[in-house]
Amino acid sequence: MEHILSILIFFPAFAAFIGFLVKEDSIRTYAIIVTLIEFIISLVLWSVFDSSNPGMQFNEMIPLIDAYGISYIVGIDGISLFLVLMTTFMTMISIIGLTEKRALKNLIITLLFLEMTMVGVFLALDAIVFYLFWELSLVPMLYIIGAWGGKLRIYASIKFFIYTFTGSLVMLVGMLYLGYVYFQTTGTWSFSLLDWNMLLLPFDMQLWLFVAFFAGFAIKVPMVPFHTWLPYAHGQAPTIGSVILAAVLLKMGTYGFIRFSLPLFPDASVYFMIPMAILALIAIVYTAMVAYAQEDMKQVIAYSSVSHMGVIILGTFALNVEGIGGSIFLMISHGIVSGALFMLVGVIYDRTHTKMMSDFGGLAKVMPIYATIFAIMLMASVGLPLTIGFVGEFLSLLGFFKVSPVLTVIAGLTIILGAVYMLVLYKKSFFGAITNPKNEKLEDAKGRELVALIPLVALVVILGIYPKPILEPVNTSVKHLVEIMEIKAQSETTRAQIVSSNTIGEAK
């Protein structure tokens, strides 16, 4: 187990290089085997993970640039463990359900490289290495949207790249400055997050650095008003691109807030708590109303993702165990549910080559199995109790209720809008008269589609009823995170009092 994290990161990339030698007609089978092995490795990691240990485990460190303290450092705790598991699982499921036939070999090799970058983001503990994985993830997704997307794929891919790359450059400036601050404080260079967590930064510096990191993370989430790239990316991306984008890539932004912004800038996080909550509420309300106005099924789910990410931000900036733990669980549940919904839209699109609700109606009569699975995922999306979506939403709102009951009530009421637009989508598409006679002969979900979708249904129900296997390790690490924030806040207050008393003494 000494190098299990490095194996987990680089195995997909190694397999991608080997994939160039695999024949076109065997590449799908090869990819399923590779992603299955990767998922099994992550399960082995979970089996040996110590849930009672709140700190980083299985740490590895290899110096890269000694003069500036840049090292390959990786580690895992309860916060990142299940995000890694979700990444390996959803990548495997998306390839099992893959229906794309154009340049299939190139697509699968691209997906394997993308998996490497996503796992690397969740495991990196050196800021520069984290940034490299973060930026590298843009390239495969840019290629997926641009090469396999719809009519506006070039516009969508370029907008996606410009938005995320610009925000990431601002974040890089913040990282470099923080490395310099560490050098000024200790006399040595380091970009290790574990070293940075020991810094006590002045409040003014925390504010500016929080804003710099916010630029990178908020665009990736995406938060309103930086969300406009997402509907285009989802709308033009192929099904597998939308699945990976919604399930994993968006979570990199919220993960960044939890891993970097909260422990490094605790005072700034408290200062920006209400502004962040207001932005989250705007996202929940505004994008829910926009989703209601959509006629394209995929666009409805795309805007619903922005709304759900608003709830995750709300829980994260509750700054307590319930809120942060709930937001992490909601990241996982949203990844499973939104990924499944995009996959379900892909199933019907492959049969009809349309995503417009007006082209459907009465699908429940023609495709009962498909309609049942869609209904389960829809209920999980709106947070029905005993589904996976309820647990994360409830804990996120419970956490923020301790901060502001009024804002929490508003957020809770506006989540009802989510039920409205999702139920309208289901009513228009699955009930009533069959609007297109060709739809009467549609084939129900079967074979490879059911192999991909049934495990997702099982997780939605099982984790909705019994979320403890995830919540327990997550809460252990979250408690440790909250303790770090409280200790640093107290130390900063003490230091400010000492400085204040010295100033008064000098004046006397």
- Whether the Cβ atoms of residue 257 and residue 312 lie closer than 8 Å to each other: no
CA proximity to 56, closest of 494, 473, 507: 473
Does the structure show a pLDDT above 60 at 305? yes
Q: What are 87's two structure tokens? A: 């990444």
Rounded CA gap, 286 and 316, in Å?
Answer: 20
A 10 A CB-CB count for 296 gives 17
Rounded CA gap, 452 and 80, in Å?
Answer: 24
- Whether the Cβ atoms of residue 388 and residue 459 lie closer than 8 Å to each other: yes
CA proximity to 345, closest of 243, 228, 452, 227: 243
Does the structure show a pLDDT above 90 at 272? yes
- Whether the Cβ atoms of residue 375 and residue 381 lie closer than 8 Å to each other: no
End-to-end CA distance of the chain: 62
Phi, psi of 61 (to 5 degrees): -145, 125
- Whether the Cβ atoms of residue 359 and residue 340 lie closer than 8 Å to each other: no
Does the structure show a pLDDT above 60 at 427? yes
Percent of the chain residues topping a pLDDT of 70: 96
Strand partners of residue 70: 65
Alpha helices, H only, 272-404: 273-292, 297-316, 321-352, 363-366, 368-381, 388-401
- Whether the Cβ atoms of residue 328 and residue 473 lie closer than 8 Å to each other: no
Determine the pLDDT at residue 494: 60
Task: Say whether pTM exceeds 0.85.
Answer: yes
- Mean of the per-residue pLDDT values for the chain? 89
Rounded CA gap, 75 and 54, in Å?
Answer: 12
Q: What are 504's two structure tokens? A: 């008064």
- Average of pLDDT values for 47-69? 91
DSSP string, 256-286: HIIIIIHHH-HHHHHHTHHHHHHHHHHHHHH
Q: What are 167's two structure tokens? A: 């925000």
Determine the pLDDT at residue 356: 86
Residue-wise pLDDT for 10-40, tens only, equals 999 999 999 999 888 899 999 999 999 999 9
Rounded CA gap, 9 and 121, in Å?
Answer: 9
Does the structure show a pLDDT above 60 at 496? no
In the block, tokens 């770090």 appear at 484
Q: CA-CA distances (angstroms) from residue 270 to 24, 221, 248, 342?
A: 53, 20, 27, 36
Rounded CA gap, 96 and 240, in Å?
Answer: 10
Residue-wise pLDDT for 94-103, tens only, equals 999 888 888 8
* Selected residue with higher pLDDT from 434 and 138: 138
Rounded CA gap, 407 and 394, in Å?
Answer: 14
Residue-wise pLDDT for 63-92, tens only, equals 999 889 899 999 999 999 999 999 999 999
Does the structure show a pLDDT above 80 at 495? no
- Reported confidence tier of residue 507, pLDDT bands at 50, 70, 90: very low
